[in-house]
Amino acid sequence: MIYEIHLYVPKTGKLSPSMLEWLFQNGQSLNQPEAFWPVRKLKPKALARLMLKLDPTLIPVRAPGGDVELHYPNKDLGVVLYLHDRGVILFFPYMAYGVYSRIVLGICYTYIRYLYDAVGFWSYDPQLDVISYADDYQSLEETAVLMDAILPKMLPG
């Protein structure tokens, strides 16, 4: 199961459920005025350069429409950051109950925390329906516990 975390920079400094609802309803529309968007417009290539300062081992890949993918160098971990003009989607495989999953979550948390500290990104976990501003390591552990409690029930048996 591929897990994803959505990251956005809210214009108001805070991400709310109504903002996320608007994004999921209108985020693919090309005719929404900028004033309606609850999140800042971004430059994916500039953001990729910022991420490469944190982790120069990331492998940049050109994506459609000027978007950028950054792949973690160890392909077995399956961590990918997809940078687009309104945010970042962080993809990684979900692995229940293991040290391996904690390693992957630790790597992902490092990226999420860096994006929060450097640019003000907030994260949204659509699987658990949780909004976070990457406040501390405790949020990572709480996410891991929730994932282990909820997601195995969603996996085909």
In the CATH scheme, what is the code of domain 2-153?
3.30.310
Model pLDDT, residue 89: 97
Percent helix, percent strand, percent coil in the chain, to nearest 5? 45, 25, 35
Model pLDDT, residue 129: 83
Q: What's the CA gap between 27 and 93, in Å, rounded?
A: 25
Nearest to 14 by CA among 111, 106, 97, 122: 122
Rounded to two decimals, what is the model's pTM? Answer: 0.85
Q: What's the CA gap between 41 and 122, in Å, rounded?
A: 14
Model pLDDT, residue 3: 87
Model pLDDT, residue 126: 87
Q: What's the CA gap between 98 and 107, in Å, rounded?
A: 15
Instruction: Retrieve residue 80's tokens.
Output: 């990918």
Do residues 59 and 70 lie in contact, with contact meaning Cβ atoms separated by under 8 Å? yes
Q: Read off the amino acid at residue 22.
A: W
pLDDT means per 10 residues, the chain with 157 residues, are 91 93 91 94 97 97 96 93 97 74 85 92 86 63 64 56
Instruction: Retrieve residue 29's tokens.
Output: 């529309």
Nearest to 77 by CA among 48, 55, 46: 55
Model pLDDT, residue 38: 97
Model pLDDT, residue 151: 54
